[in-house]
Chain A
């Protein structure tokens, strides 16, 4: 039993602790360096784990040495490590942008940031439903702090809504977990998967209700309609690095849906097998459409990006909802793309807004941007990326999804939604771009940031890093495709997971 499995959880925890205990001792510079080192280490750990699980081995870690299903167990399979890696890779650029001043606009930025990662890693690795709840709470509280970081009217208001709706969500989570325990008498997810298959018909009611309530919680987290309304305001009004980091938060909800759908209600779940599928596809498609309408309707860039996040969750879960190996694989390819693209876009939007003076990021013919060539070029690429134009990763993900949808009975709907929304996206992006970069009347404002080439490149480096990650997804599409398919195959064999956990 290798301690490597729990390392991604402990590293950010202790990093945050260190920063907390030495907060008055260390200088800002050292704070930032430590924080960055921790995140780099996190990437290293994720890669190390990936090399372990790549073969298809499912690693487990019994906390306190208590055998499952009694103790809490961590499970590292291809999916969870994939999520860990994506999170870490997203966190680094976000933090790099954060250390350029955002972290000083309030207290404890780095501690909250580290513990956000702590919560995320814990959530991805745990194999215990109640423990998943606990880590949801951790990352939520950290995200509350980060979201409100810096303060401001709109930000506080969005934060208030975000906190309250999520508290309601947590309550729902407990109702669901409690009911499952009350009938199935266990909390370990693998054990739940076993028990679910054995439930006698007359006791199915509470289990089914609880499962759908749990699904409801994850709908809220992943911002599927009708519970997506918390996202636009929250993401549009928080600081850029936080918004970028939050690109992974909705994907956490998607992860949870995929996990329970394949593990607990997977092929071996008897009467309850695939009980979520009937709900997932329509919701996902609707989210895609509604989200993209929001993109078209947006009156400011950040708001537009936030709606892009909503839409991307829609297409992500559309892929997962197909239920086939190809569909899940398409989703698993699309997931990092959507995450990195959204992150890059939020960081870029910050750079653009900071140069437009009073116009901020509103879609009004404003000032001629300083560094418009660089920013315009980046905007063009990120926009292509986000609406899934070739040859970038968004297109590949979209194409894989379409290909996977071919055997599906509701192929016309899926095809129509995906292609139609892409077109809407193109139109909306063309408009945003031409308003922000072409229709500039006033003279350039000398923005707060000095425009020497050095500073500019350093300012845009994080966004460029994320773009390079997307580029890597294109260049190494083959290997990623292979890994995604292997992961999907593993998920569709829940027995392996269950055996790995319960019969170590």
Chain B
């Protein structure tokens, strides 16, 4: 079977390809491939007729229980034959139907894709695999229906079909996952054998509902029926295929396939036959009132699928046999009818039955074919439709006898039958007789010879099956039914004459009633126009869809306002909720038992001062310069705190970072709008203050909670090993360059990245500087004060010396590459501030990239050195040198690392500041409005 599917799917690609060489090649290729497919079935058919079930397995995801497994039994064979046989006829027919404007390659590629997907469904042993092909049919039918994509109704019809069958597919996935869980396997052989387990399982009902949703959406059962008429906007060959052997039949195939596993419960009986019956009657009723030829046929399809569904719903073996039989018959006559309708449309230019009249004169041959097919649809004796319809009526009667109100079932079904006869009458009489055609676009005539051949073949089949059932259809029907029931068949005979039975009476009633109904059609049409004119599922669906889009839109816009403040707010609230619930949820006390330090006055004052400065910054943040000065003070106190609590390195670092940051902010401030931003609204301020207070309070509590608890850490190790193993007394520095040198490497990478990112960002950035400051004073354009200039020039070498010293001693005493780097940077920045950009530029390279690069390289490469001696990355080594004058001196490879840090810091900091400086000089250069003084 795999080879068969491969033939069709690769064929789909092939057809698309050959169509470049000539549009008809596509048709030929497609036809040849479908034929090839049929031939591949022949050898296997024998075994199946002998009662075997062929299984082909291909391992895919064995652990998860999903393999590619194919199954060919009677049911599968029957459907495969229908799909390929009718498919072949459709291919021939479409070759003449499509106009030169239509791209044949695309059409046949889609058609074969769809054909392959259908074959996949009917040949699957694994239900997940079945679902895969199921969804593929939805997709490929979308492509087929929207084939004339320039037509709005085609696009809408296609999207509706996809939405509804897609929804069904999702339900089916859910149902199949449950079914697989219940049966313990996804493979049909197991599932079909374990019907009792399945029916007894607590999940049976939800699973059943989900599976049925899948089946009903696909086979256009009420209330999902409306997508099918809207799919008429597809080219007629496609409709002929979708309505007869494929798509909608996939739904009833599923009912047949799972019949032994799911049927036999009241839930099944009520759901399936209930829905089926409604669809049967409703479809027949609607069909009568369609004026579009294809519309009538579409609703009749809905009705007939309802009929088949009822039969499977009744649930007796005989009913199932009748169901399979009607599947065959309906496929045959419905295909021929659509093709006939297509011919009429093609040759007369219209499908409106109010204009199409008396075509008998113009196309007698086609008319004859159409009339026979329509008669089969109506269930006229000696035609195939009659036989299965008889069985249907008989089953309805016998089923009716079991349940109370049973007589209702045959009555309802007869009513449906009456409408069926009526619309068949209409199809024949209205179109081919009933006076003269009314202003048709073209004068009708017979189609080309080969366009009729497929119809002739199908109609011939209608007659053969109708007259000689036991010679023609019986064998295949038997094996197919056996495939459905998975047990030995009940007794049945396909005789044309069963004597006078209730079923026969029902047929007669239907025939007479149908005739009457059609005779009195004109008043009925008027009534229908008046009352059920705009009663359509489509409108409902469109409304629903519009609702979905609207609500999705409003929800999304409500959440995503593109406001940063909203984002920050949700962040802080999330933090509060998470942290708070975490702590409270644990139920542990706030404070621990650790004994605390004495609070001395100076610390208290410093602390309060810091708090004061911080609050002041917030209050005055709209006076930006003041805020800047205040935050500088805050930073200063923070570094004092580090000093107080024995962290000299941190103090130094914090201090130098502080200076650079403030300088940066100062320079940046110059470019930001001077006028203070508007005050936020009072409620907004209140809200933010309370959030801030809550988060701040949380931080306080968390700190308190930790600080009051006893404590043991891995710190001891570092203190012990810093000197003997790391060769340094300053443990913090040894950690930075050695124990956790990898962090430091990352840290300077961050610094380098920041510099590069800023460089990339500020390139070509031109901001106009303000002419005056807030108070309206003009910026001073005087040259830089000479005293300061000369002073800083003197100080520069000294500063550099200091930084070198700090760098070198860093390993043993407070200091290290980072602090040294910042000091150097600060010293150089002073040059800018004192001497101006131009003076400094002339003495200092503006391009800092090499400095950063070499620094990072040095740091990263020292780590590599240890590889040579087989140690892991960043393993350090150190030795003691004896320097004259200096004395015994110790060098650690980690120092090279620290030099790298130093270079990166200098490079990055300068790069950023130089850029700002350049922007300043550029903005100063901007012409002075008052002209030169």
Contacts and interface: CB of A to CB of B under 8 A. Distances in A.
A112 B739 contact: no
Contacts of B389: none
Interface string B162-187: 11001100110110011011000000
B560 A203 contact: no
Contacts of B146: 434, 438
A415 B714 contact: no
A208 B746 contact: no
A202 B592 contact: yes
Nearest to B743: A134
B571 A227 contact: yes
B575 A213 contact: yes
Interface string A389-428: 1110001101110110010000000010001101110110
Nearest to A181: B713
Contacts of A141: 750, 753-754, 757
A175 B585 contact: no
A402 B571 contact: no
A419 B560 contact: no
B155 A208 contact: no
Interface string A371-391: 000000000000010000111
Interface stretch (B132-140, B802-810, B921-929): B132-140
B173 A419 contact: yes
Nearest to B706: A182
Interface stretch (A66-74, A75-83, A93-101, A249-257): A66-74
A335 B228 CA distance: 38
Contacts of A212: 578-579, 581-582
Contacts of A399: 66, 128, 173, 177
Contact of B757 (A144, A160, A161, A294): A144
Contacts of A1: 872
In the complex, which of the residues B139, B155, B740 has the most CB atoms of chain A within 10 Å of its own CB atom?
B740
Interface in A310-338: none
Contacts of A230: 567
B681 to A, nearest CB: 22
Interface in B553-584: 553, 555-557, 559-560, 562, 564, 566-568, 570-571, 573-575, 578-583
Interface stretch (B460-468, B639-647, B758-766, B768-776): B758-766
B219 interface: no
Contact of B163 (A20, A21, A427): A427
Query: Most chain-A CB neighbours within 10 Å: which of B131, B705, B715, B761?
Result: B761
Nearest to B152: A439
Nearest to A294: B556
Interface in A352-367: none
Contacts of B849: 20, 23
Contacts of A6: 872-873
A26 interface: no
Contacts of B178: 406
Q: Decide if the interface of chain A is mainly helix, strand, loop or mixed.
A: helix
A477 B740 CA distance: 41
A118 B754 CA distance: 15
B522 interface: no
Contacts of B856: 17, 20
A233 B562 CA distance: 8
Contact of A390 (B131, B583, B718): B131
B578 A390 contact: no
Contact of B574 (A71, A206, A219, A481): A219
B756 A179 contact: no
B588 interface: yes
B62 interface: yes
Interface residues of B, number: 116
B874 A63 contact: yes
Interface in A183-228: 183, 185-186, 191, 201-213, 215-216, 219-220, 226-227
B564 A164 contact: yes
A107 B310 CA distance: 71
A414 to B, nearest CB: 10
A209 B582 contact: yes
B739 A165 contact: no
B907 to A, nearest CB: 11
Interface in A461-483: 477-478, 481-482
Contact of A216 (B64, B575, B747, B853): B575
B99 interface: no
Contacts of A370: none
A202 B588 contact: yes
Interface string B899-927: 00000000000000000000000000000
Given A1-B872, A65-B872, A427-B548, A205 B131 contact: no
A40 interface: no
Contact of B874 (A64, A390, A422): A64
A485 interface: yes
Most buried by B among A137, A205, A398, A477: A205
A294 B560 CA distance: 9
A426 B857 contact: no
Which of B180, B557, B586, B871 counts the most A-chain CB atoms under 10 A from its CB?
B586
Interface string A1-29: 10100100010011001001101000000
Contacts of B62: 478
Nearest to B150: A438
A478 B706 contact: no
Interface residues of A, number: 117
B656 interface: no
A132 B174 CA distance: 40
Nearest to B741: A64
Contacts of A297: 549, 552-553, 555-557
B756 A108 contact: yes
Interface string A91-123: 000000000000000111001100100100010
A131 B746 contact: yes
B872 A3 contact: yes
A232 interface: yes
Given A141-B757, A202-B588, A175 B699 contact: yes
Nearest to B556: A297
Contacts of B866: 65
Given A65-B875, A213-B582, A434-B159, A183 B575 contact: no
Interface in B823-869: 849-850, 852-854, 856-857, 860, 864, 866-867
B64 A403 contact: yes
Contacts of A179: 702, 706
B706 A183 contact: yes
Interface of A: 1, 3, 6, 10, 13-14, 17, 20-21, 23, 61-66, 69-72, 106-108, 111-112, 115, 118, 122, 130-131, 134-135, 137-138, 141-142, 144-145, 148-149, 151, 160-161, 164-165, 168-169, 172, 175, 179, 181-183, 185-186, 191, 201-213, 215-216, 219-220, 226-227, 229-230, 232-233, 290, 293-294, 296-298, 307, 384, 389-391, 395-396, 398-400, 402-403, 406, 415, 419-420, 422-424, 426-427, 430-431, 434, 437-439, 477-478, 481-482, 485
Interface of B: 59-64, 66, 128, 131-132, 135-136, 139, 142, 146, 149-150, 155, 158-159, 162-163, 166-167, 170-171, 173-174, 177-178, 180-181, 545, 548-549, 551-553, 555-557, 559-560, 562, 564, 566-568, 570-571, 573-575, 578-583, 585-590, 592, 699, 702, 705-707, 709, 711-715, 717-718, 721, 738-743, 746-747, 749-750, 752-754, 756-757, 759-761, 763, 849-850, 852-854, 856-857, 860, 864, 866-867, 871-876
Given A427-B163, A434-B155, 7 more contacts: A21-B850, A65-B866, A70-B739, A134-B750, A206-B709, A208-B585, A430-B159
27 contacts: A3-B873, A13-B860, A14-B860, A23-B849, A63-B873, A64-B741, A71-B739, A108-B759, A135-B746, A142-B753, A182-B711, A185-B711, A185-B714, A204-B587, A206-B709, A293-B555, A297-B555, A389-B139, A390-B135, A402-B173, A406-B181, A423-B170, A427-B163, A430-B163, A431-B159, A438-B155, A478-B63
